[in-house]
Amino acid sequence: MNNWLFIVGVFVTAFVLTWLLRRYALASSLMDIPNERSSHSIPTPRGGGVAIVLSFLLVLPLIGMLDLLPWSFVIGIIGAGLAVALLGFLDDHGHIAARWRLLGHFSAAAWVLYWLGGLPHLFLFGFSFNLGLIGHLLAALYIVWMLNLYNFMDGIDGIASIEAISVCAGGSLLYVLLNEPILALVPALLAAAVGGFLCWNFPPARIFMGDAGSGFLGFVLAVLSLQAAWFKMELLWSWLILLGVFVVDATFTLLRRLLRGDKIYEAHRSHAYQYASRQFSAHLPVTATVMLINLFWLFPIALAVGLERLDGLLGVLIAYLPLILLAVKFKAGQLEKATV
């Protein structure tokens, strides 16, 4: 079967499911009501990310049966992905204590790492390093951080969707250029699922993703980057470069709030992208800028690393430096009252 049929099918499924979820949310009054911490001003249906989860996960067993994916990957990502999405769905409908969410997140990370084989050897400046158990623990922390930072960064219309599509498109193209089109299929399917949802989430959004979708996206992107490392170690750095906008903004904001002694689990509007959206009085310019940065800055560097034209760690440093400067410029992590 032509892989494009899978991709189109996932896109259409996600589009229709999002439409149905929006109708259900409107009929059931499942609305995101604006408050002082919100970046939107009108009540909006939420929970549309479930369409991404279902349309993506439902196609994976079929791909496994056609031997286009190893069953270990299918079992690992479906089991853990469903757990992450369910936790997010329950949290969307009623608050779950942070400690229980984290326990669930680390359990999901342990499950998928078992089926993936953990963290492969790291390759730095021409040398290979086997971190053993420490490496597996670091991989679990990485997955959980990616999952949560994606929740943090899903705060304005379309930004989480555009990020996922850009990253997956870049990852797929890297695989194609490395003559591994089969590996390109999974990120392409995830991009298709998010694309179907984005038709309803593009600024001004008619439905929000919710924690079920954003956490799931962060989880799957982290897993795809680790899967890439098992194929070719340099590709882990390539994926980290592609994810740079979200990684830098979320991490810089978190560190600044930690150093100030803030309660980091409390809601806030102090990410760089949130300050930028308020400065421009619109979501679309910020979301579009993220796409342009991904396409014209991060992807060329990720490609150079993937093709072994540039050392991976050095590529990450080069890619992240302007992003850190942007985080400083747009006051990431700064107290909101300081801007009044």
Are 227 and 139 contacting, i.e. CB atoms less than 8 angstroms apart? Answer: no
Contacts of 334 (CB under 8 A, 6+ apart): 256, 270, 275
From residue 232, alpha-carbon distances to 103, 120, 240 in Å are 31, 10, 14
Low-confidence ranges of the chain (pLDDT < 70): 1, 34-41, 124-127, 337-340
Instruction: Provide the pLDDT for residue 131.
Output: 76
Residue type, 6: F
Q: How many CB atoms lie within 10 A of CB 173?
A: 17
CA distance 32 to 17: 19
Q: Which residue has the tokens 């795809």?
A: 224
**Span between the terminal Cα atoms of the chain, in Å:** 58
Q: Which residue has the tokens 């300081």?
A: 338
Instruction: Provide the pLDDT for residue 1.
Output: 53
Q: Token pair for residue 121?
A: 């050897």
Structural domains of the chain, count: 1
CA distance 187 to 170: 9
Instruction: Provide the pLDDT for residue 261.
Output: 82
Residue type, 107: S
Q: Token pair for residue 312?
A: 């991976």
CA distance 133 to 214: 29
Instruction: Provide the pLDDT for residue 30.
Output: 80
Three-state DSSP class for residue 267: coil
Residue 90 belongs to what domain range? 3-339
Q: Token pair for residue 268?
A: 């806030």
The burial class, CB within 10 Å (0-12 / 13-18 / 19+), for 43 is: exposed
Q: Token pair for residue 196?
A: 């179907």
Instruction: Provide the pLDDT for residue 37.
Output: 59
C-alpha angle 247-251-253 in degrees, rounded to nearest 5: 125
